[in-house]
Structure 1
């Protein structure tokens, strides 16, 4: 699995945007890994639909976050996944919870990967035929039937 992310903020009162993608490698897809989702510590700003946050509004006025974002990996059936999230405006432009949250996602994914790898492959077959006792019991009847057909 490969997680990449990028935070971009324009000058001024604009909120930063976090873009991320998660791509599974071939052997990970081959294990039919499920969709893994974690609740991150990345805060969703109030009125996250707004690209800006003016002084004295929302997070700049001390308003609590609307919650935290969920992060996810794709399932084995998907090529990859990506998302863009709006982050709260911060004067110092520091977002340490981003890397910590992606580490949390990686750990959850690795637990699923280890569980899938622990499920050993198998290739088993078998064959059953009529029992020897039944063959002996039927042999007389079969021979008698054939003799009667020849006699006709």
Structure 2
């Protein structure tokens, strides 16, 4: 599994956008890992649909944040590539240390699922059963009698 991300922001009052991609390797997909979602510490700005934030509004005001955070996700084994984009709060210093911390938390959750799936060992078991001794002993007289009668019939016919 590989998580790649970048943050893009245009000059001005434009909010930055976090783009991330999760790519599963073939051996990870073969383990049939489930969809993984974690609660991150990446803040979702108020009115996150809005691409801008003016001075004095939302995260640039005295009451800066909504208190909501984004969920981060890794696709199930059915998807090889996962692309997401999240709008980040405007920050004067353009510093977002919680992003790497959150992706490490996502990686840890993935690795726990990976280990659990890998610990489920493969198997290929074959076996066979035959008629029990008790059943053979029960039906043997009848089977032998039929065979003797068939032999006698064949001997008489020859």
Task: Please indicate the TM-score interval, normalised by the length of the shorter structure.
Answer: over 0.9
Secondary structure of the residue aligned to 2:43 is strand
1:78-93 matched pairs, under 5 angstroms: 78-93=79-94
- Partner Cα separation in structure 2 for residue 69 and residue 6 of structure 1: 16
Contact 2:18/2:85 (8 A) holds in 1: yes
RMSD: 1.6
Shift of 1:66: 4.7
Task: Tell me the equivalent position of 2:14.
Answer: 14
Contact 2:2/2:24 (8 A) holds in 1: yes
1:92-103 matched pairs, under 5 angstroms: 92-103=93-104
- Tell me which moved more, 59-68 or 123-132: 59-68
- Partner Cα separation in structure 2 for residue 24 and residue 6 of structure 1: 18
Question: TM-score normalized by structure 2?
Answer: 0.89
- Partner Cα separation in structure 2 for residue 57 and residue 144 of structure 1: 101
Task: Tell me the equivalent position of 2:27.
Answer: 27
Question: TM-score normalized by structure 1?
Answer: 0.93
Task: Tell me the equivalent position of 1:2.
Answer: 2
Shift of 1:148: 4.1
1:91-144 residue CA offsets vs partner (Å, 9 max, x unmatched)? 001111111100110011111111111111121111001013322332221132
Task: Tell me the equivalent position of 1:55.
Answer: 55
Structure 2 residue 115 is the aligned partner of structure 1 residue 114: yes
Over alpha carbons, which structure has the higher Rg? 2
Which blocks of at least 5 consecutive residues in structure 2 are unaligned?
A: none
- Partner Cα separation in structure 2 for residue 5 and residue 64 of structure 1: 23
Count of paired positions = 152
